[in-house]
Amino acid sequence: MELKRVVVTGLGALTPIGLGVESYWHALLQGVSGAGPITHFDPEKFKTRFACELKGFDVDNYMPRKEAQRMDPCAQYALASTMEALADSGLDVEHIDKDRVGVIIGTGVGGFTAMMETANVFVENGRTPRFSPYLLLKVLADMVSGYISLRYGFRGPNYVTSAACASAGNAIGDAMNLIRLGKADVIVSGGTEAAIVEAAVGGFDAMRALSVRNDDPQHASRPFDKDRDGFVMGEGSGILILEEMEHALARGARIYAELAGVGMSADASNATAPDPNGGGAVHSMHNALDDAGLSPLDVDYINMHGTSTQLGDVAECRAIQTLFGDHALDMVMNSTKSMIGHLLGAGPAVESIAILMSMRDNIVHPTINLQHLDPALPQNWNYAANTTVQKVVDVAISNSFGFGGHNVTLLYKRFQP
């Protein structure tokens, strides 16, 4: 069968540097850091005492308080971003065929905030077994997509993907393939995360994965820099409205780009460390190119996973060198995480939005805090170090790699009917 084509017609975002897509994009171009002291809990006794939290988010602006109280913040974030994305898409949600609209969202940990708060209360109350009747609805990851379908009555495919930091990439890739196969006309897809809680920060600290630059948090996320010492946790959500091309054209939709390929692979190497030679990443990027019918020479821009960890940045660069060779000199590569931190399972979605804005405006945002390039990395690549790069972006890929060896690459290209 001939596969249908998939386009992006709406965007929504909540990020540590901007609530809403345009605010987020403006801050990216300005090189704004979202890092600051943790306020969600008292971090005084932790090795890492800072993160990239959402700022100014008021759930009352998005939904009734009674509804919000039944949801973990990760579900609140996803629903809020969905509201923006649907409005941006121009879809008539009241009259659309709701049997043909699905919701597929990625999250690495789901309702971690609700579980942590409940555990704290349980201990503080001397182990008195007193729990909210909404606890499981807050904790269960699948309720993220469930609440969106309940709000809008969407009755198409509905589920949550979880693949650590590649979760939203899997969600977007699955959504694309279901539309390609004719199983849906529209799918709300992306990712959400609200994991800046004691257990997550403490756990990542114990793994020595987080930066401990407590005296200078705004310069802590420094991908590719020789002085990087770990990633910075972030939170938020990103939602894309994916639509079958003919369906979008028939209603005169504004199209950001075509989602033309997805690649997935596994390192099968180590639970927490990447394949040192980037083998799984090579396969993921190659699979995305093959899926789109393109070659490495067609790619203009890579939004890298770029977490600011010692092993991860080196492995990803090795993978790019292996697959792209000398063409890497002609591409721009950057890391959105230098500004927003690592949104874990939501990362692939908010980073995809950065790509789509670059394609719209022909400009690539900077990688901030890159002062001294690691000698172990290619020295003549364009990492958009501390400055924007004016560039026509016709083809771009987003890399996302997660604990467990999960790899996802999404490929976007400028839309041509």
Whether 283 sits among the annotated catalytic residues: the reply is no
Q: What CATH number is associated with residue 203?
A: 3.40.47.10
Q: 150-204 pLDDT, tens per residue?
A: 999 999 999 999 999 999 999 999 999 999 999 999 999 999 999 999 999 999 9
Instruction: Give 219's DSSP letter.
Output: G
Give the pLDDT mean for 286-306.
98
Can you tell me which residue has the tokens 């975002």?
13
Q: Is residue 86 part of a domain?
A: yes
**Residues 206, 333: one domain?**
no
* Strand segments (E) across 110-200: 158-161, 186-193
**Residues 49, 115: one domain?**
yes
**Residues 332, 399: one domain?**
yes
| Mean confidence (pLDDT) of the chain | 96
Give the residue among 32, 91, 51, 24 at the shortest CA–CA distance from 353: 24
Q: Is residue 258 part of a domain?
A: no
Whether 40 sits among the annotated catalytic residues: the reply is no
**Residues 114, 198: one domain?**
yes
The residue annotated as part of the active site, out of 165, 247, 317, 365, is 165
Of the three residues 216, 250, 284, the one that is the final residue of a domain is: 250
* Strand segments (E) across 285-331: 301-303
Q: Is residue 257 part of a domain?
A: no
At 25, the pLDDT band (50, 70, 90 cuts) reads very high
pLDDT given for residue 119 in this prediction: 87
**Residues 340, 241: one domain?**
no
Q: Is residue 268 part of a domain?
A: yes
Can you tell me which residue has the tokens 């002085």?
227
Higher pLDDT, 125 or 67: 67
Residue 404: which domain range? 263-413
Give the pLDDT mean for 242-265.
98
Q: Is residue 211 part of a domain?
A: yes
Quote the tokens at residue 147.
Answer: 């609440």
Give the pLDDT mean for 114-128.
82
Whether 342 sits among the annotated catalytic residues: the reply is yes
Higher pLDDT, 322 or 276: 322
**Residues 404, 289: one domain?**
yes
Listing DSSP states for 4-69 in one string gives PPEEEEEEEEEETTEESHHHHHHHHHHT----EE--SS--TTSS--EEB---S--GGGTS-HHHHT
pLDDT given for residue 127 in this prediction: 65
Q: 357-377 pLDDT, tens per residue?
A: 999 999 999 999 999 999 999
**Residues 29, 174: one domain?**
yes
Which 3 state secondary structure label does DSSP give 377? Answer: coil
At 122, the pLDDT band (50, 70, 90 cuts) reads confident
**Residues 296, 214: one domain?**
no
The residue annotated as part of the active site, out of 40, 247, 283, 305, is 305
Can you tell me which residue has the tokens 């789901």?
110
Instruction: Look at residue 112 and tell me whether its pLDDT is greater than 80.
Output: yes
At 410, the pLDDT band (50, 70, 90 cuts) reads very high
Of the three residues 227, 250, 273, the one that is the final residue of a domain is: 250
Of the three residues 225, 250, 275, the one that is the final residue of a domain is: 250
* Most confident range, picked from 134-138, 196-200, 267-271: 196-200
Calpha distance 329→379 (Å, rounded): 10
Domain count for the chain, please give it.
Answer: 2
Q: Is residue 274 part of a domain?
A: yes
Q: Is residue 256 part of a domain?
A: no
Percent of the chain surpassing pLDDT 90: 92
**Residues 187, 301: one domain?**
no
pLDDT given for residue 123 in this prediction: 81
Q: Is residue 189 part of a domain?
A: yes
Instruction: Look at residue 295 and tell me whether its pLDDT is greater than 70.
Output: yes
**Residues 278, 152: one domain?**
no
**Residues 153, 271: one domain?**
no
**Residues 182, 77: one domain?**
yes
